[in-house]
């Protein structure tokens, strides 16, 4: 499903592509204003950037679980050629106390983000919000080339219960899926080595068991997976061909 809003992004749970004009929310760093998938090779390879810095800013009560941070660090370390290391930091920001749409998320990023590319270090930004998305039921989305938003309250509400995935695993699944889009999957900056794009659902994988399947979070939320889904061979091959391990 595609919607025209004001910023290009991908949502998960019920995935929908959103396109938005980011002019009112232009970041001070020109690189970070580029389209989703543009930074894939820079993130995957060591050609230009040898260190990856990830700035996580969370609203009160929704700090990412340390185990999820470890999982995501391991996920990226296995994919990205970053001999200088991968560093993830978390800091708290003021809560929104409101439902959020992509425009509000972009405004919050512009107001709070401080980490940008510097020298041989490339930076990503992750906002963990205390609000719900206003357009569809989602757990998170990626937008621009280095930006991700997670809906922390939604993740808390859909994890840890009977038949549900643990919060650690759900946070991990959402983050790793959205990072997959930032890394150019599928056919979004990391060219396909073998055709596997589910064109009816945008830039997602046709393999229903793959982390990049369009409804993977719905399946996870329904308890159809007991562990975090993995990238399939086709997605892994795309990343490797674009400079990844």
Per-residue pLDDT tens digits for 22-31: 456 899 999 9
More confident residue, 77 or 160: 77
pTM above 0.75, yes or no: yes
Contact (CB, 8 A) for 197 and 206: yes
Buried b (16+ CB within 10 A) or exposed e, 22-52: beebebeeebbbeebbbbbbbbbbeeebbbb
* Per-residue model confidence as pLDDT tens digits over 110-131: 999 999 999 999 999 999 999 8
* Per-residue model confidence as pLDDT tens digits over 47-104: 999 999 999 999 999 999 999 999 999 999 999 999 999 999 999 999 987 788 888 8
Strands (E), 14-131: 17-20, 51-58, 85-92, 121-129
Residue 13 pLDDT exceeds 50? no
Q: Which domains are present in the chain?
A: 2-241 (3.40.390.10)
């Amino acid at each position: 499903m595609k919607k025209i809003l004001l910023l290009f992004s991908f949502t998960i749970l019920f995935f929908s592509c959103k396109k938005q004009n980011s002019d009112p929310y232009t970041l001070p760093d020109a690189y970070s204003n580029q389209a989703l998938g543009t930074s894939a090779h820079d993130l995957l390879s060591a050609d230009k950037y040898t260190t990856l810095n990830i700035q996580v800013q969370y609203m009160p009560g929704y700090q990412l679980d340390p185990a999820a941070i470890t999982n995501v660090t391991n996920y990226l370390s296995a994919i990205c050629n970053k001999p200088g290391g991968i560093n993830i930091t978390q800091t708290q920001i003021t809560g929104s106390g409101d439902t959020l749409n992509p425009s509000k998320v972009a405004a919050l990023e512009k107001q709070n983000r401080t980490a940008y590319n510097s020298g041989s270090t490339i930076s990503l930004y992750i906002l963990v919000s205390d609000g719900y998305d206003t357009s569809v039921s989602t757990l998170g989305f990626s937008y621009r080339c280095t930006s991700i938003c997670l809906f922390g309250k939604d993740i808390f509400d859909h994890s840890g219960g009977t038949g549900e995935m643990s919060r650690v695993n759900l946070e991990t699944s959402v983050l790793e899926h959205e990072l997959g889009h930032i890394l150019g999957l599928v056919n979004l900056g990391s060219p396909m080595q073998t055709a596997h794009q589910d064109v009816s659902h945008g830039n997602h994988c046709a393999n229903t068991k793959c982390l990049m399947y369009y409804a993977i979070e719905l399946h996870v939320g329904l308890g159809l997976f007991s562990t975090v889904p993995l990238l399939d061979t086709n997605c892994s091959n795309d990343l490797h061909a674009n400079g990844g391990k």
